Structure 1
């Protein structure tokens, strides 16, 4: 049975049982505890916590999930996946244990012809919580014999979110794969043979503080008993498809086949290669799903996880023998495989490819850089007579330069060196510990939104700001320091909830309106407006005059100047987005934005810096659209219709069934947007691009002023240009040419100065030759170079001195002093090399004195130290070393 069919049967089964089918949430949710959605119940958390009233009594979904704690284990075993699909059914105070057990058993064991999965009941085992007699009795009644029911403790069969909140016992269903996969005895004996496929959580209690899976207090029963179940789609797939693990299933094995084609290696021959094939299959699918939901490679958070996944794909492919880029091929096959369930992968394939290929290109450069750094490190180790690359160096290569440890190990072996793996692992463990402690410090119970629940249930705030800036309203609630308050007095900060409001609540990149709330003798200054549950407007205000009381009739007013500027900024953002796509093409897709009065910032997916011509064209297209005075139309429709019309959506955003479309100039710009806008494009005023920069791999940013802020900026630039023209005594239009002439003259002068400095340095070579010491049969120049001589000139000087000794054996050691650093050069001529002297070996004699290291070839070695006070001791150490060797 194909995986897409497994998903469909699950949903159909529960829809027939009265459940509402709920689409998968994005992998990215606004939850402070989660990097990614990692369980099927995450989008329903507010219902389980009692913060919101669910719109249905029972629901079913197949949720996209990503878990990243085990990235390093992916491929090593066949049990770890970063991306997986969790099928679940949920009851919010409706049914409980008996029906949950019956529904699960029926789907698993019903014949395929009747819509079930057709599992043999004789091969299914169940576990229950230690004292859950009720669940055991129900399993016995359904036909599971007592010898296939096992009781397990809190660590295995008691569920919680890991933080204070709902919890309860659970019952897990296992499938017996047979004696060839392990020993008899059920899940307690062998969880490789007995594979867990479904977990039924009976959410009935509330947990308190504590740590771990079994160290917390159970405070008491929940007001309502809930059901939360999770069936692993991938696990069921490999069992029903008769293969040995998830990597052999219909959604992963074709990726391995493609990897075989691209690398020339075969899966199933060597374990090390199999690990790499599985890494590619797993990570390619996860990366595509993350990019589709709006994640872009970066240096922290979600972006860093995606970057790691993509780089592990490239690394694994290279180790398997791939010589050409592979990412586009992998993204295409993932799209082909997953699109029947997630059609956005097909419609958005070009953007997904662009992001993934961009990271691959960047990482291939990193690999080249890392290889160079490794060569230098290996040379330094050998120069000091060592045979092992220190763990600190391996960690630096890995952590700072993104150079994978297994490549370090492989290249070290080729160079005849070992790696201090224990030291590396210790540093990695310390880094993980710090990250874990940081995450734990940030992890807390879900923000307590219970106080807003009654207000959310009462109904959404009516936003009147699309049509008016002043609205009559009623105060529904006042909240001070997280507690409902009947009244707020002068000087107090207060959250005000109104039944209707013209003030825009921050969302969609547009910051909140500023404004006032007034009544007779009462005035509040509103500095921010935020949304709760996407429906409730919370006005964060300060009482400047009088007292405000719950139930008061008030007048809410948005600051007109602020709103005018905000609408210019937001509409200007749409102009710039449309211009980017017109100039750069459809792959220039929005990755984020911020707009406020007079200013906009727009992030988009793109590889490489924009040219001056491209920036000029984007600004010109934007202002042409402003000058065209396009009408701005808004309308509400359903999401499928909006997409059919070509409306652009922000990737990773969760939209409801109905969406608001903002259309500017017909086909010029059409986007899903809930923000406020001008009525005609000419009201935006001039748009002036301030610049363009990188904010991460594959993401560029443009910033611009609009309206009066644009005018003020241009006026300032004009005044600056006039000042420069006056100083140069040329007309304004001749300033660029005049500045170019001055720059060229400066370059010529700098080059002449460099030549003079070099000549002066070389002129001192004769004096250094005069200072040569004869030690045995070798002439040694070991001196401190003049202060301030840079490393490049030091090398030139050393080479010149060496050349003056002709056929006499000579060793030259120069140590410099430049801004507290100690650059050094060691060079040995051929006659001295024939006597056994090597430049790299001599570095080790003085390196510790100046806290430095370096390396090179027998003829020339160089590097730098950080302790100028050790120069004299270092030179003495060189003399001793040469004397020892010459003797």
Structure 2
């Protein structure tokens, strides 16, 4: 959904000495659905008069005429705001401005008024600007867009005694200038108090609603939110843990606007967002790709009517698929990736829902969803060109996810059928909620799919049981976050400086007291020995005149990166040393966090910077890391080429130069490399390698706000030590330079020399053992420190492999043969013991046996289980601890008991106790786990589940 917004920050003189500001915005990705009635055909006149692109451009033009500067949409992935999964409102990117934390000199801090088109995903000192927002909303909607005034209703915040907030009488009076009293309605905190997230800016909001039908009194319906005016004038430190107490923000702001698709549907006189020209091209592509009947706008009263082969099922699928391909294309283009946690999990669920609807309701073939990416990109790229730039990447990610889910969907259907059949065989009529949630959580089956399949099987799903599991899973991340915040607050109260932050109140106080913004320009000078003055001291209890922490008015440290700089502040007279452990920037003030190691510091003391150890945002003191989009692992040749290029750059001694460039000019530079989602100062330092060389265009130009070496030769040497995957479609390379690079080469050379000695020695079992030890030593060293350059590491692996498979072939084979004989003997003895135990259990009247036999592999467990079932007729669950750190598990159940105790369900339940994975059939299932500490509990669970299902001890 795309939201059209206008935002007006009202900055008090104490916060920033500049005039009031305003921002207008539009943008977001809408959820699937529609109105309760469908307007059969779009009005040709209205559609022609107000095509979607014109609606968007008119909004921007209107607010530009009101002195608003156009601002590009931020990514939907809020890289600098951990309180949000996705950008869910156009005002998100302006949050630092709202809370007084925008860095002076940044493009954001320079805004007075702005208008933007924002992509979104939705899984005191206010008078003049609120009046402007309401006046402009009315003018734009009724005069520019020409909507009839008698269709509108306004709502305002009625107040909340629990929050200590009075009614928003000012907004009410402003609306009464345009609307009769019966059309200006009070609303409670749920409807008319806006929050950006669980923590952060919030405030009362006033909304303008549009009656699509007209000619009636619709006050009791207020059925279409047309425009919002959010007054952002409160800061919510933590509603959940601070009793809902709110505190005023130093910067008062008004944000106003509306949903883009919603406005288009009103202007085009149709009953649903999906009946507009926003979705028409995507619907056309869905029809072409799937061969389904054209979209007809059919709606259902409830989910039970959404069935395959019906018009409602077909049109619901059109809406779901179109909405979700837009959402996923936008999110992936902005850097998000489907995964099993956080925002990635949300995206994975969205994709699976779309694929399932398309295949089930539209009869689409596997791979159809990926084919819709060009249509989605085409519908959005005029406003958001970054989608076109990332189209190939988006398609690759969606193709991988779609293929993986198609395979899982088939397995899930088999799992459902297995469980449903077992329930029916047992005479049950209900599909249990735990199984329904398992299908949802592990197989990607939403509840409505399970209900549909259950109905077809003559079963009813235990919805309350499913909801209980869903609720528990939903609250788990929030509970974890609350626990982390509580721990952080407790640590801060005990004086843990690493957790100190300067909030809006603190930065406003510094400004009120005339404290100048920190000059941190010294950070660009390697080896700078800056002299500064401590201007304020801040600890867990607030500001003090002399205490545990201090900050410099000048700073030679870089903050805000992934890893900040560290060093010491030393009192000019030599009386105090403050060890800096962290550096953070808050609204123009650099906070140096650490501990006072000697002496005392007071506000006003002069300090010197000493021994600054620079750590940039993508490096630490031991290595440099680079993550990049790539669909497969780099080959050995590619890695060697990367390492060679790095070494060549060092040998050539290229001078690096940082030049200040205005941010908009910098972003237009060819070969520019900037961190996605990063906020840069204006002007920003642009770092060029060999700017005087004819070949400088071969090297990237970097934007960075930290310290850099003056020449590539200062690195000494370079080695690439790792290439691996960090997520689907994302690879990582790690390199070291200087002493560590030399160590990597030396370590590799030493092992290579040792290997040569072994290769030249006489063949025999002892020599083969030494070669194997060398192999393990290589692996251990690699895991411990990434010690070998990639090229050296690859060569060593090849040589070790050659040694173990050719030089000592005979001894190796004899050794392996004896090992297998020993293993077979152990397996036979274990099987005999298990059979004896099973016979004793059968004699005692038991129906199952649970056994632990260590140091046998999965194949041996399978043989053991077959013997137990064959000779005793009992169900068996066998576990084996292998090599001390892995657990092999196998469940085998006789045919007559498989309905009551499916082996695959038995296995899954037990594996949950040992962090395991596996699968199989009702008769036999196999898997493995990694949590050996959970073994006692696993044995207990295995026995308890079998006892409940089969009886016995």
TM-score (normalizing by structure 1): 0.75
Residue 422 (structure 1) shift: 3.4
Question: C-alpha offsets along residues 624-669 of structure 1, whole Å, 9 cap, x if unaligned?
Answer: 3333333333333343554341312222334455443323343232
Distance in structure 1 (CA, Å) of the matches to 2:483 and 2:272: 37
- CA positional deviation for 1:734: 6.0
2:541 aligned with 1:503 = no
Go from structure 1 to structure 2 and tell me whether the alpha carbon gap of 1:755 and 1:20 turns closer, same or farther (over 3 Å shift).
same
User: What is the alpha-carbon distance in structure 1 between the residues aligned to residue 234 and residue 909 of structure 2?
Assistant: 61
In the TM superposition, what whole-angstrom CA distance separates every residue of 1:572-608 from its partner, at most 9, and x where no partner exists? Answer: xxxxxxxxxxxxxxxxxxxxx7312231122222233
Instruction: Give the whole-Å Cα distance in 1 for the aligned partners of 2:909 and 2:134.
Output: 69
From 56, 66, 82, the counterpart of 1:7? 56
Residues 514/200 of structure 1: CA separation in 2 closer, same or farther (3 Å cut): same
Residue 232 of structure 1: aligned partner: 259
- Cα separation, partners in 2 of 1:157 and 1:449, compared to 1, 3 Å: closer
Q: Which residue of 695, 705, 712 corresponds with 2:743?
A: 712
Whole-angstrom CA distance in 1 between matches of 2:526 and 2:877: 72
* 2:397–2:729 CA contact under 8 A, matched in 1: yes
Please give the secondary structure, in 2, of the residue aligned with 1:540: strand
For residues 684-731 of structure 1, give each alpha carbon's deviation from its aligned partner in whole angstroms, at most 9, with x where no partner exists: 233222222332222222222211111123323333444455556549
Q: 2:90 matched to which residue of 1?
A: 40
Distance 2:507 2:198 in 1: 21
Describe how 1:57-68 pairs up with structure 2 within 5 A: 58-62=112-116, 64=118, 66-68=120-122
Does the 8 Å contact 1:394/1:419 carry over to 2? Answer: yes
- Counterparts of 1:456-495 in structure 2 under 5 Å? 458-482=516-540, 487-488=545-546, 493-495=548-550
Q: Which moved more, 1:612-621 or 1:415-424?
A: 415-424
Aligned pair in 2 of structure 1 residues 476, 455: CA closer, same or farther (>3 Å)? farther
CA distance in structure 2 between the aligned counterparts of 1:471 and 1:801, rounded to whole angstroms: 77
CA spacing shift, 1:350–1:753, aligned 2, 3 Å: same
| Alpha-carbon distance, 1:345 to partner | 1.5
Q: Give, in whole Å, the separation in 2 of the partners of 1:872 and 1:366.
A: 30
What is the CA distance between 1:496 and its match in structure 2? 0.8
Verify the 8 A CA contact 1:477 1:485 in the aligned structure 2.
no
Q: Is the 8 A contact 2:666 2:686 kept in 1?
A: no
Counterpart position of 2:464:
422
Q: 1:25 to 1:656 in 2, by over 3 A?
A: farther
Q: In 2, are the aligned partners of 1:57 and 1:93 still within 8 Å (CA)?
A: no
Q: Structure 1 pair 137/758, CA: closer, same or farther in 2 (3 Å)? A: closer
Structural mapping, 1:292-311, within 5 Å: 292-311=333-352
> How far apart are the structure 2 equivalents of 1:463 and 1:851?
59
Answer yes or no: is the 8 Å Cα contact 1:850–1:869 preserved in 2.
no
Q: 1:534 to 1:281 in 2, by over 3 A?
A: farther
Query: In 2, distance between residues paired with 1:484 and 1:802?
Result: 71
Question: Does 1:699 pair with 2:727?
Answer: no
SS in 2 for 1:174: strand
Which residue does 1:283 correspond to in 2?
A: 324
Matched, 1:174 2:174: no
2:705 match: 674
Structure 2: any 5+ residue segments left out of the alignment? 1-49, 159-166, 299-310, 490-500, 690-695, 763-795, 840-846, 882-887, 912-917, 928-936
* Contact 1:843 1:855 survives alignment (8 Å): no
Aligned counterpart, 2:678? 653
C-alpha RMSD of matched pairs (Å): 4.9
SS at match of 1:303: helix
Aligned length: 788
Instruction: State whether residues 623 and 736 of structure 2, in contact with CA within 8 Å, keep that contact through their aligned partners in structure 1.
Output: yes
Of structures 1 and 2, the larger Rg is shown by 1
**Cα drift, residue 738 of structure 1:** 1.5
Q: Residue in 2 aligned with 1:602?
A: 626
Aligned to 1:573: none
Counterpart of 1:686 (choices 717, 720, 726) is: 717
Aligned residue number for residue 555 of structure 1: 608
Matched, 1:185 2:217: yes
Is 1:737 aligned to 2:737, yes or no? Answer: no
Cα offset, 1:380, TM superposition? 5.6
Contact 1:126 1:150 in 2 (8 A): yes
Deviation at 1:284, TM superposition (A): 2.0
Distance of 1:165 and 1:855 partners within structure 2:
45
What secondary structure sits across from 2:668 in the alignment?
helix
| 1:256 aligned to which of 283, 290, 293 | 283
Q: Quick one: distance in 1 between partners of 2:621 and 2:588?
A: 24
Q: Could you say what secondary structure the match of 1:675 adopts?
A: coil
Change (3 A) 1:632 1:242: same
Distance in 2, matches of 1:851 and 1:555, equals: 62
1:247 aligns with 2:290: no
Runs of 5+ in structure 1 lacking a partner? 72-90, 111-115, 571-592, 774-780, 804-809, 829-837, 881-887
* Whole-angstrom CA distance in 1 between matches of 2:836 and 2:176: 101
Q: 2:199, 2:470 → 1: CA distance? A: 31
SS in 2 for 1:531: strand
Residues 359-398 of structure 1 aligned to structure 2 (within 5 Å): 359-371=401-413, 373-374=415-416, 377=419, 389-398=431-440
For 2:946 and 2:921, how far apart are their aligned partners in 1? 20
Residue of structure 1 equivalent to 2:767: none
Establish whether residue 24 from structure 1 lines up as the match of residue 70 from structure 2.
no
Q: 2:151 aligns with which of 105, 110, 123?
A: 123
Find out whether 1:145 has 2:194 as its counterpart. no
Distance verdict in 2 for CA 1:531–1:148, change over 3 Å: same
Residues 297-336 of structure 1 show CA distances to partners (whole Å, capped at 9, x for unaligned) of 3332222223333333333333232223234433322221
Offset of residue 236 of structure 1:
0.9
**Which residue in 2 is equivalent to 1:198?**
227
Residue aligned with 2:282, SS: helix
